[in-house]
Structure 1
Amino acid sequence: MENFVQYTDQQLLSLLKDSSQGAYTQIYDRYHGLLYIYACKITKEESEAEDIVQDVFVYLWDKRKTIIFEKSLSAYLYSAVRYKFFDLLDHKKVRTNYSASFQNFTENFPVQADQILREKELSALIEKEIACLPDKMRNVFELSRKHHLSHREIAEILHISQKTVKNQVNNALKELRVKLSTLFTWLF
Structure 2
Amino acid sequence: MSAYNSFSDQKLTTLLREGDKAAYTEIFNRYNSLLFLHAFKKLQNREEAKDVVQEVFVKIWATREEFVLATNLAGYLYTCIHHKILDLFAHQKTVTKYTGFLQHFLDESKGNTDHLIREKQLSLIIEQEIAALPPKMREVFELSRKKQLSHKEIAGHLGISEETVKSQVKNALKILRIKLGMISFLFFLIYF
Same fold (TM over 0.5): yes
The amino acid across from 1:23 in the alignment is A
Q: Which 4+ residue blocks in structure 1 deviate beyond 4 angstroms?
A: none
TM-score between the two structures when normalised by the length of structure 2: 0.57
- In structure 1, the partner of 2:21 is 21
Shift of 1:81: 0.6
Question: SS in structure 2 opposite 1:19?
Answer: coil
TM-score between the two structures when normalised by the length of structure 1: 0.58
The amino acid across from 1:114 in the alignment is H
Q: Distance in 1 between matches of 2:45 and 2:73?
A: 25
Shift of 1:47: 1.4
Q: Structure 1, residues 12-58: CA drift from partner, whole Å, max 9, x if none? A: 00000011000000000000011111111111111111111111111
Question: Which entry has the higher C-alpha Rg, 1 or 2?
Answer: 1
Q: Distance in 2 between matches of 1:46 and 1:21?
A: 27
1:60 aligns with 2:81: no
Q: Structure 1, residues 90-130: CA drift from partner, whole Å, max 9, x if none? A: 0100000010000001111242753896xxxxxxxxxxxxx
- In structure 2, the partner of 1:98 is 98
- Give the 5 Å matches for 1:1-188: 3-110=3-110, 111=112, 114=115
Runs of at least 5 residues in structure 2 that lack an aligned partner in the other structure: 119-192
Question: SS in structure 1 opposite 2:71?
Answer: coil
Q: Distance in 2 between matches of 1:115 and 1:16?
A: 56
Q: Distance in 1 between matches of 2:33 and 2:49?
A: 11
State the identity %.
34
Q: Distance in 2 between matches of 1:66 and 1:24?
A: 14
Q: Distance in 2 between matches of 1:62 and 1:112?
A: 50
Count, aligned residues: 117
The amino acid across from 2:91 in the alignment is H
Question: SS in structure 2 opposite 1:4?
Answer: helix
The amino acid across from 1:24 in the alignment is Y
Q: Distance in 2 between matches of 1:27 and 1:112?
A: 59
Q: Distance in 1 between matches of 2:17 and 2:114?
A: 53
Q: Distance in 1 between matches of 2:117 and 2:46?
A: 45
Q: Structure 1, residues 159-179: CA drift from partner, whole Å, max 9, x if none? A: xxxxxxxxxxxxxxxxxxxxx
The amino acid across from 1:17 in the alignment is R
**For residues 102 and 11 of structure 1, do their structure 2 counterparts lie closer, same or farther at Cα, with a shift above 3 Å needed?**
same
Shift of 1:67: 2.8
Q: Structure 1, residues 74-96: CA drift from partner, whole Å, max 9, x if none? A: 11100011111101100100000
Shift of 1:68: 2.6
**For residues 112 and 72 of structure 1, do their structure 2 counterparts lie closer, same or farther at Cα, with a shift above 3 Å needed?**
farther
- In structure 1, the partner of 2:155 is none
Q: Distance in 1 between matches of 2:81 and 2:114?
A: 42
